[in-house]
Structure 1
């Protein structure tokens, strides 16, 4: 994964989708966030490892919350996100992830409003709340890199 994949996944959130398509795009975005944050823990010595572990945990929890939505198509058969961030500046990656996370929160709230299933709505809103926590953490990391 590179910055271009992060940006591609963010752009995909803006495309109009059916509810299953919206949930699949959100799940993919959370997967990319999770994988990129995992790599940043090793690439970025500025915030301590515990900080990145907490942010990674938020991404995992948000994806798990969304996985409970019955309208989410199975990601089986789709290759997982792979990361190759070594050549990128951590500040640039953090900024791109922050943009992705902010767009994802809005996307999840919109998906919650669009669905007719209460269970899907609850899963989307729960994932949005956790992703908002992640966004706050990324914003703090972004300020540290200025």
Structure 2
């Protein structure tokens, strides 16, 4: 099977209560399988990680920020996953952004996001630790604690 290499950028969006915003969704090729994840996604050709993170944050939450507002990445990882019957190897940078609060606006979702993202909520580190749901990235509670 061919593996698609891609670069991605994600945002650890943290509110004044030290909670992280996560989106809930899944893969159309695997109905019924759902997980929670941070806003973000694949970079467009020639796009910097900060620019991609800012673009994805706006598309998925309605929050408009400048790439420079995100600073330097606070976490980097390589993950492998399947989506729509394709295998991916994704290098991704995570940026931290604090907001007093934010009301998520999903009007910027593209067609795939409208099909696959079903919910969102703010999570504390303790809630992440206690959850039995699939949450990505693995170790997000510790990352949140370090970022706060």
| TM-score in same-fold range (> 0.5) | no
TM-score w.r.t. structure 2 length?
Answer: 0.29
More strand by share: 2
